[in-house]
Every structure is written in C-alpha cells, then in structure tokens.
Amino acid sequence: MRLLPLLVLSLAACAPTPQNWAASWSEHAAKDRIMLVRTTPETLGHRRLIHQSNAHPDLDQFLKRKGFPDFIAEASSEDRQYLILYYLDSSLAFSGRTRRSPGTRMDFDGPYPMTGHECSLLRELQRSSEAGSH
C-alpha cells in the first residue's frame, strides 16, 4: 500500500521513449512517475536506470546482483534522490536513497512485498505498453 500513491501518479510514464530521447530523459521528466524498464524500444525508465547506475556505483552493483527491475519510480527532495525498483515476477520492491551528487553512496531497503493490486496494475501497464509498441 505504501507504493500505490507513486503508481497512481505515473500511468503515462510507460510509453516507449521517442527517438529524440535526450530531451525527455531528464530527471524532470522522470520525477514522481513509475516508469517501465525496457530496452527495445527503449523506455524512459531504462534510460533513467542506466543514468542512475552510472552516477551511483552501488546501484550498478545492486542491478548486477538482482537484475533489472520491470519498473522504477524516482522522486527527489532538495538534497536527496529516491528510487523504487519493482520486480513483478517476485512481487517485491526495493527502495534506494542517495544524496543528489554523482558518486555518492546509494542505500537500499527491502525487499518489500507488493500487493496483488499493485502487481495487477503494473502488469496491465506492461501489457498495454507492449500492445502500443507493435
């Protein structure tokens, strides 16, 4: 239930990234959204995850251990960044937090069990995105 408010804010963030993704992959475009992570066609979520893992080596190591999530959500405050990673197959989510400067440590919490409702909503977003990309 803790993660559901982020889901409601983000229904539009699952679309594939346009070819000129450089203008749309900014932190501003990703803020307070849940984003599908897919490589082909590449999504904003995938681009942001790559960007964040390059900026924070702890995230890169986490992804090497756990694999890429199906969805991510980003939020930030004045001096902090927050990231939630959603893994649908295991129905688990992890949260990460860090300072806003590149190279700073990212601390992780979790796993948190996702509710059946959260999983259903994310799977539906995933299906509708796949149908829209063909």
Tens digits of residue pLDDT in 69-93:
999 999 988 889 999 999 999 999 9
**pLDDT over 50 (residue 127):** yes
What rounded mean pLDDT belongs to the chain?
A: 81
Measured CA to CA, the distance from residue 59 to residue 69 in angstroms comes to 12
Whole-number Cα distances in Å, 126 to 21, 70, 76, 130: 20, 8, 25, 6
Dihedral sign, CA of 56, 28, 127, 123? Answer: positive
Measured CA to CA, the distance from residue 46 to residue 36 in angstroms comes to 7
Measured CA to CA, the distance from residue 28 to residue 16 in angstroms comes to 17
Cα radius of gyration (the chain): 14
- What number is the average pLDDT over the span 87-100? 95
- What number is the average pLDDT over the span 54-74? 95
Asked whether the beta carbons of 29 and 51 are under 8 A apart, the reply is: no
Query: What SS3 state is found at 15?
Result: coil
- What number is the average pLDDT over the span 19-38? 62
Please tell me the predicted confidence (pLDDT) of residue 84.
96
Q: Confidence band (pLDDT; 50, 70, 90) for 29? A: low
Please tell me the predicted confidence (pLDDT) of residue 69.
98
What pTM does this model have?
A: 0.77
User: What are the tens digits of pLDDT across the range 5-15?
Assistant: 444 444 444 54
Asked whether the beta carbons of 17 and 24 are under 8 A apart, the reply is: yes
Please tell me the predicted confidence (pLDDT) of residue 32.
67
Pick from 93, 106, 109, 110: nearest CA to 59? 106
